[in-house]
Chain A
Amino acid sequence: MLTVLFDGVAYGALLFLLAIGLSITLGIMNFVNLAHGAFAMLGGYVAVVMLNRWGVPFPYCLPVAFIVPGLAGMVLERGLYSRLYDASPLDQVLFTIGIVFASIAMASYFMGAQHQIIQLPQILQGQFHVFAGFDVGVYRLFLLVFCGVITLLLHLVLMRTRFGSRLRAAVDNGRIARGLGINVNRLFVITFGVGSGLAGLAGALGIEILDLDPVFPVKFLVYFLIVVAVGGSGTVGGPLAAALILGIFDVAGKYYVSQIGAFVIYAVMVVMLIWRPQGLFGRKATR
């Protein structure tokens, strides 16, 4: 029971890292970005290539898995996304689905359709026994601590720095923020890059837990959307709570009622959306 809870929390922390970028970018630009998972997948594959083909140690892979998707995100943002801010949601949906499809095709072309397997460093393997009925996987504990630190950092940046207050202003009301001389577009590029980078980092951290394969962007699309929809935008707390609840529900659902499987998650999402279709999003995210 406690083990399931612990695994759920670790899983949720990972989901938070995956989705936080999307929740902020969606909050600022109101852009329906279904391709967020593609950046996470990119990070995952960067780590796989470095670990398995080049033999780079795991700790060194993580920063690269952050930087590469982050840069890719910024380039795509400047080149393509920024042209569609004023486009209809349908255009945004089509465009981002296009990116999803192209990235899936490229991933399976270059990396093959199989699940990727990586060798974790010795120190992160195994599990230890806390007391009867409660075993803690070392890697999951590591994940939890790692994500916890990053969450704290994000929270501090968002709440204590000038950049953070500008960002919050842009999420709350982009037009007025612009009027006050905040360069929302530049803010957005940076946020988009960092958000994509964090997703990539989470993709790299979650290679084993999330089963990295080419259909990753579609497989986890719903999870991102749930975190964003339930958590709202502009804070760290909302998406974090949403991600943890989702993680616990998902792990528990698969553990206790495996014959129903992912059905639980989809049902939870639909119920949540029907319960509070407007209020769940940030103030800006609904037109």
Chain B
Amino acid sequence: MGSSPTNAPAGVAHRIRYEGEAEYLRAAASWRVPEFVFWLLPIAAYFLLPRQLVLLSRVAVMGLFALSLDLILGYAGIISLGHAAFFGLGGYTAGLLAQHGYGEPISGLVISGFVAAILGFATSFLVMRGADLTRLMVTLGICLMLMEAANKMRWLTGGADGLQGIAVSPILGIWTFDLFGRTAYVYSMIVLFLVFLLVRRIIRSPYGLALRGIKENERRMHAIGTPVARRLVVAYTIAAALAGISGALLTETTQFVSLDVLSFDKSAEVMLMVVLGGAGTLYGGIIGALFLIVAQYLLSGISPQYWQFWVGIAFIALVFLARGGLVGLAKEGVTWLGRRGRSTSS
């Protein structure tokens, strides 16, 4: 932030400061080549991997979920052990809507996101109180409460058996969800991309800068006059809404929802995805989701316990070896290559 002359009128000072910022933000918001390449991959996958579309829709759903967690974990610095609460709430909302005859998918997503946002907004005030450990416990507690509620309300949710009889209507009345997952794939990729654009816009705005500032040094943000609590409440609510949308997307594309979506494992899994890919890197969550789901697909054939064991080891290894996640490693690799290239040419 540029220093502004103290004797200038407030308006002028603001304008001076904002010009520098705007330039910075505009530069940060411009698209780079690797980003274009990244978003061409799903289109290529549709043609090259027609047999894996069901798996790849799962990647899109979990990538979206991870993106929502990245917003609060990677950018706002809130550690949540209960982000599955919103994922599950969205999933159940969409499922219940479809079960009761309202199977229109797009508005289903919107409604589910809205319901999750309400819960996110209401609980954000609880989460804002206290430091990291308290936050961990409050988020975990809220998620467990929801799971217990869903478990006990068998008449509504089907309890441990999951919600049966979900019938989703064709998208826009044209595309029905087919057995090969083609519609589901295209649908979830488009939703992922749209939400991604939104999140990208958010974090590269002045508001996104404020969030990162809060993560870096909350006290200083207080001191420069940022309403920290309000910023965090908004971030938490948006993240909840997006997690709700991803949960709803899962329900609509698989036509099933069970208690699993609210479990502690789900919260931990999505956290691993974000950190594995690289927290606070925007693409990290999606890459982490892709990596983890493909690995699970390849490994779980051997034995499910085997899989869980390696997930545990992955957590431990990440902490000790790869602090920036995969995106961080890739960046390091690029700079290393660049340095090597320069030293050999000179």
The interface size of chain B toward A, counting residues with CB under 8 Å, comes to 45
B12 contacts the other chain (Cβ, under 8 Å)?
A: no
A277 CB contacts on chain B under 8 angstroms: 129-131, 134
B268 touches A95 (CB 8 A): no
B138 contacts the other chain (Cβ, under 8 Å)?
A: yes
B271 CB contacts on chain A under 8 angstroms: 93-94, 97
The interface size of chain A toward B, counting residues with CB under 8 Å, comes to 45
Number of A-B contacts (CB under 8 A): 143
B315 touches A95 (CB 8 A): yes
B141 touches A98 (CB 8 A): no
B142 touches A270 (CB 8 A): yes
A105 touches B305 (CB 8 A): yes
B209 contacts the other chain (Cβ, under 8 Å)?
A: no
Segment at the B interface, from A10-18, A184-192, A260-268? A260-268
Determine chain A's interface SS by DSSP, over half rule: helix
B140 contacts the other chain (Cβ, under 8 Å)?
A: yes
Complex Cα distance A87/B79, Å?
Answer: 14
Instruction: Pick the residue among A84, A91, A109, A229 that contacts B309 (CB under 8 A).
Output: A109
B319 touches A94 (CB 8 A): yes
Q: Could you tell me which residues of chain B, from 291 to 310, have a CB within 8 Å of some CB in chain A?
A: 303, 305-309
Question: 9 tightest CB-CB pairs across the interface, nearest first?
Answer: A98-B315, A102-B312, A101-B312, A277-B130, A105-B309, A98-B316, A105-B308, A89-B132, A270-B141
Q: Could you tell me which residues of chain A, from 197 to 250, have a CB within 8 Å of some CB in chain B?
A: 218, 221-222, 225, 229
Q: Could you tell me which residues of chain B, from 91 to 132, have a CB within 8 Å of some CB in chain A?
A: 126, 129-132
Complex Cα distance A231/B315, Å?
Answer: 30
B132 touches A98 (CB 8 A): no
In chain B, what residue has the closest Cβ to A280?
B134
Complex Cα distance A218/B318, Å?
Answer: 21
B148 touches A262 (CB 8 A): yes
In chain B, what residue has the closest Cβ to A91?
B319
B133 touches A286 (CB 8 A): yes
Complex Cα distance A222/B138, Å?
Answer: 10
B137 contacts the other chain (Cβ, under 8 Å)?
A: yes
Interface residues, chain A, with chain B CB atoms under 8 Å away: 32, 80, 83-84, 87, 89-91, 93-95, 97-106, 108-109, 218, 221-222, 225, 229, 259-263, 266-267, 269-270, 273-274, 277-278, 281, 285-287
B25 contacts the other chain (Cβ, under 8 Å)?
A: no
State how many angstroms separate the Cβ of A194 from the closest Cβ of chain B: 22
B316 touches A225 (CB 8 A): no
Given A101-B315, A108-B305, A267-B145; A90-B79 close (CB under 8 Å): yes
B309 touches A106 (CB 8 A): yes
Complex Cα distance A278/B271, Å?
Answer: 25
Given A106-B309, A263-B152, A287-B131; A94-B275 close (CB under 8 Å): yes
B149 contacts the other chain (Cβ, under 8 Å)?
A: yes
State how many angstroms separate the Cβ of B321 from the closest Cβ of chain A: 12
Complex Cα distance A93/B132, Å?
Answer: 10
Given A263-B148, A274-B126, list of 13 further CB < 8 A pairs? A89-B136, A93-B79, A93-B136, A98-B312, A98-B313, A101-B311, A102-B308, A108-B308, A221-B264, A263-B145, A274-B138, A286-B133, A287-B131
A266 touches B141 (CB 8 A): yes
Complex Cα distance A103/B312, Å?
Answer: 8
Instruction: Pick the residue among B132, B152, B316 that contacts A259 (CB under 8 A).
Output: B152
B171 contacts the other chain (Cβ, under 8 Å)?
A: no
Determine chain B's interface SS by DSSP, over half rule: helix
Q: Could you tell me which residues of chain B, from 314 to 335, have a CB within 8 Å of some CB in chain A?
A: 314-320
A266 touches B148 (CB 8 A): yes
State how many angstroms separate the Cβ of A258 from the closest Cβ of chain B: 9
A287 CB contacts on chain B under 8 angstroms: 131-132
Please, could you name 22 A-B residue pairs with CB atoms under 8 Å apart, sorted by A?
Answer: A90-B73, A90-B79, A90-B279, A93-B79, A94-B271, A98-B315, A101-B308, A101-B309, A101-B312, A104-B312, A105-B305, A105-B309, A221-B264, A222-B137, A262-B144, A266-B141, A266-B144, A269-B137, A274-B129, A278-B131, A286-B134, A287-B132
In chain A, what residue has the closest Cβ to B311?
A101
In chain A, what residue has the closest Cβ to B314?
A98
B152 touches A222 (CB 8 A): no
State how many angstroms separate the Cβ of A103 from the closest Cβ of chain B: 7
Instruction: Pick the residue among A93, A109, A221 that contacts B305 (CB under 8 A).
Output: A109
B316 CB contacts on chain A under 8 angstroms: 80, 94-95, 98-99, 102
State how many angstroms separate the Cβ of B228 from the closest Cβ of chain A: 16
B144 touches A99 (CB 8 A): no
A84 CB contacts on chain B under 8 angstroms: 319
Complex Cα distance A119/B79, Å?
Answer: 43
State how many angstroms separate the Cβ of A217 from the closest Cβ of chain B: 10
B303 CB contacts on chain A under 8 angstroms: 109
Q: Could you tell me which residues of chain B, from 6 to 30, have a CB within 8 Å of some CB in chain A?
A: none
A98 touches B126 (CB 8 A): no
B81 contacts the other chain (Cβ, under 8 Å)?
A: yes
A273 touches B138 (CB 8 A): yes
State how many angstroms separate the Cβ of A213 from the closest Cβ of chain B: 13
State how many angstroms separate the Cβ of B71 from the closest Cβ of chain A: 15
Given A103-B312, A105-B308; A32-B132 close (CB under 8 Å): yes
Given A94-B271, A222-B144, A263-B152; A273-B137 close (CB under 8 Å): yes
A94 touches B318 (CB 8 A): yes
In chain A, what residue has the closest Cβ to B306?
A105
Complex Cα distance A270/B315, Å?
Answer: 27
Complex Cα distance A101/B151, Å?
Answer: 23
